[in-house]
Structure 1
Amino acid sequence: MSIIREPIIVRPHDSLLHAIKIMTMEYVPKLVVADENEVPLGSLSQKDVLNFIYKMGERDLDNVYVSEVMRKDIITVNNSIEPLEASQIMIEKKAPLLVVTTDSGKLLGMIIKSDLAQYYASLVKGIHKVNEYMSKNPISVNKNSTLDEAIKILLDKNVGRLIVEDEGKILGTITTTDLLYLAPVLKIKDIKIKVKEVMTPTIVVMDENEDLSYAAKLMANRKVKGIPIVSANGEVKGIVTTTDIVKALADEKVRKYLLELKLYTSTF
């Protein structure tokens, strides 16, 4: 399967509000910023948007240019890149996405963590357990915390989701995707909306001894980027995310597994 997806493009002179609408309508967490000649200039993620809104004061989103918010430190790769190499680059460079270009520098596509997680889910089985790669001390927020408090935690801890809890019980998660829908009102610092009013109720949890491939499949099927891990009595044990799947894909054990799989199937 291909790990390269069609790029969703915005221009540097587009408004931030326009970019937010594309992210929410197309349900994509990251955009490529390119000029009229399809030369990539930067990237824009949900976290970049939230970080800017949190610091921007009272400016209207339709008066902010994408060029003010985008990241310029993009990593470009060619379309012959292998999934394991892509995962290695993403982990080593802490890259939110890889921009795929032609030899002449024109935009061809992009690779995000969800694409690599889906690749792992489709080919790898029985190599890793969830507990080998999950984050064991997930960051949580109380259901009665305000959105302002939740955003501050997300940005300070540089994470894409928080577990919403009440007296040790998981109620749901709040993610950058959830918050993006509220972008126009997030600049109001004294807004009294509580986390419990906008969180996504948790309908998928997982045991730490499950196959990591199963976690990757669930993420792909449910279109989520993280799954809380709980014990049999409901205690929170951790969280597994697409970032964790990408780390697992870069493991040497996966390289050997895929090589053996290729050799075995090519004999038939």
Structure 2
Amino acid sequence: MYGRKYCAGNMSYTKNVITLHPDSSIHDALLLMNNNDIKRIVIISDGNPVGIVTERDIGKFLQNDKTSRMLNQIHLDEIMSRNLFTISKDQDEILVQCAIRMDAFQISSIVVVDEEKLEGIVTKSDLVNNFSKLFTGLYKVKDYMNTNIITCRKSDSLLFALNMLNRNKISRLVVTDNDGKPVGIISYDTFLRNSPYFRSGAENTREYLLPKTSARGLFVNDVVGNELLTIGYNDDLAKAAKLMSEYKISGIPVVNENGDLEGVVTATDIVRAYHEVKIHAVIQRNDPHFA
């Protein structure tokens, strides 16, 4: 986790953000992500946020980089995103404003600043957690789930799954059996958490992290467990948000009464709903007959 939460009214964002510097390495970032169970790290210089690095940034870079450098030789200023979205800590309705911007710009976090100095961070996880507490009974999962599902099978190679993530610019794939029934989810997080890189403690080579050639002998079934969390399409969207918060996940397969895959609901969908709750509230204030 990042650190303690700062509460603004009934809503909170994360303070005490874990950070690194531009000259820190991919090795440094991965160890911090793994040890603190986080997916992104804010990069600072002289106390000012200058970029951000995510698991997906690292995975995509390592797949495309053709050099043979070790992970502790690749600096974060080479891969970090400099297109940093920030918001003042004094902004009214800060989480609502963050939801609006995340939805509009398709981003997963916004850095909170106090006169350009790092103050905290708002992530999709923060919005999902707040949505689960504040907006029960407003929407059903089917109102916001994504039915355009990209899947892979348990029998597919890890290399195929990783290429699918990169090619489609997505963070997760729903894993199905040969009958199309959902049996798991695979993401960048799956690759990084199951990598022998973290278990060896001594290797800094990317082959241990996201193997390219040896992965041809490994299959999705080798890293995806047998237990899968699902949700029904008629369930409360706030229930989906609560499950995401409790299990620290960012997507849940949606099934019908027969267990067939109908879609997937993600943190991105919850953020969109968070944004639209505010829109509906404004309309209702101006038009009491609006439903």
Same fold (TM over 0.5): yes
Return the alpha-carbon distance in structure 1 between the equivalents of residues 210 and 274 of structure 2: 38
Return the alpha-carbon distance in structure 2 between the equivalents of residues 208 and 254 of structure 1: 23
Corresponding residue for residue 53 of structure 1? 62
Checking the alignment, whether the CA contact within 8 Å between 2:96 and 2:278 is kept in structure 1 is no
Corresponding residue for residue 124 of structure 2? 113
**Stretches of structure 1 lacking an aligned partner (at least 5 in a row):** 261-268
Alignment of 1:56-135 (within 5 A): 56-57=65-66, 58-81=68-91, 82=93, 83-103=95-115, 105-135=116-146
1:156 to 167, 185, 188: 167
2:258 to 229, 233, 252: 233
Corresponding residue for residue 211 of structure 2? 188
Greater mean deviation of Cα atoms: 234-243 or 176-185: 176-185
**Structure 1 residue 40 corresponds to structure 2 residue 49:** yes
Report the residue type matching 1:47 in the other structure.
Answer: R
**Structure 1 residue 13 corresponds to structure 2 residue 23:** yes
Q: Give the drift of 1:59.
A: 2.4
Q: Give the drift of 1:164.
A: 0.9
Cα deviation per residue 1:16-43 (whole Å; 9 max; x = unaligned)?
Answer: 01101111111111110001x2111100
Checking the alignment, whether the CA contact within 8 Å between 1:54 and 1:186 is kept in structure 2 is no
Cα deviation per residue 1:84-126 (whole Å; 9 max; x = unaligned)?
Answer: 11100111122221011112x1101111101011111110011
**Stretches of structure 2 lacking an aligned partner (at least 5 in a row):** 1-9, 198-205, 286-291
Return the alpha-carbon distance in structure 2 between the equivalents of residues 85 and 69 of structure 1: 28
Return the alpha-carbon distance in structure 2 between the equivalents of residues 89 and 20 of structure 1: 27
Corresponding residue for residue 271 of structure 2? 246
1:24 to 30, 34, 50: 34
Identical pairs, percent:
29
Checking the alignment, whether the CA contact within 8 Å between 2:255 and 2:262 is kept in structure 1 is yes
Report the residue type matching 1:233 in the other structure.
Answer: N
Checking the alignment, whether the CA contact within 8 Å between 2:59 and 2:210 is kept in structure 1 is no
Return the alpha-carbon distance in structure 2 between the equivalents of residues 53 and 201 of structure 1: 29
Corresponding residue for residue 263 of structure 1? none
Cα deviation per residue 1:208-256 (whole Å; 9 max; x = unaligned)?
Answer: 0111011001111111111110111111000001110000000046651
SS in 1 for 2:182: strand
Checking the alignment, whether the CA contact within 8 Å between 2:103 and 2:271 is kept in structure 1 is yes
Alignment of 1:150-229 (within 5 A): 150-167=161-178, 168-181=180-193, 182=195, 184=206, 185-191=208-214, 192-229=217-254
Q: Give the 3 Å change call, closer, same or farther, for CA 253–94 of structure 1 in structure 2.
A: closer
Cα deviation per residue 1:108-147 (whole Å; 9 max; x = unaligned)?
Answer: 1111101011111110011111011111121111112122
1:136 to 134, 143, 147: 147
Equivalent pairs counted in the alignment come to: 258
TM-score, L = length of structure 2: 0.84
Q: Give the drift of 1:186.
A: 4.2
CA RMSD of aligned residues (A): 1.9
TM-score, L = length of structure 1: 0.90
Report the residue type matching 1:43 in the other structure.
Answer: I
Report the residue type matching 1:149 in the other structure.
Answer: F
